């Protein structure tokens, strides 16, 4: 790993976010427990915080605030339609 990449990774790993932003995200989630990071980002913009959705997602992941109520499960494809057609009698 190059030294510039190493120092860049070190700088990014321990970035501190403003405490008032974190508190505001927590208060939005307390008021609206079904909000995900996209709605939280829009609510922050309505309240005067100009922040990126990726930052909001990262803060919510670090604090365990992600919404899990609407995780959709995928279903495996099954084309079986049962017995189709007429079965001829055995002679």
The three state secondary structure string of the chain is CCHHHHHHHHHHHCCCCCHHHHHHHHHHHHHCCCCCHHHHHHHHHHCCCCCCHHHHHHHHHHCCCCCCCCCCCCCCCCCCCCCCCCCCCCC
pLDDT at 15: 76
pLDDT digits (tens, 9 = 90+) for 46-89: 999 999 999 999 999 999 998 776 666 778 888 888 887 888 88
Name the residue ranges covered by the structural domains of the chain: 18-62
pLDDT at 39: 95
pLDDT at 70: 63
pLDDT at 84: 79
């Amino acid at each position: 790993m190059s030294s510039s990449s190493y120092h860049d990774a070190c700088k990014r790993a321990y970035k501190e976010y403003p405490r008032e932003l974190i508190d505001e995200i927590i208060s939005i989630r307390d008021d609206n427990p079904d909000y995900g990071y996209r709605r939280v980002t829009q609510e922050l913009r309505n309240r005067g915080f100009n922040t990126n959705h990726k930052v909001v997602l990262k803060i919510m992941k670090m604090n365990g605030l992600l919404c899990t109520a609407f995780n959709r499960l995928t279903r495996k494809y099954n084309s079986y339609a049962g017995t189709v057609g007429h079965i001829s009698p055995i002679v």
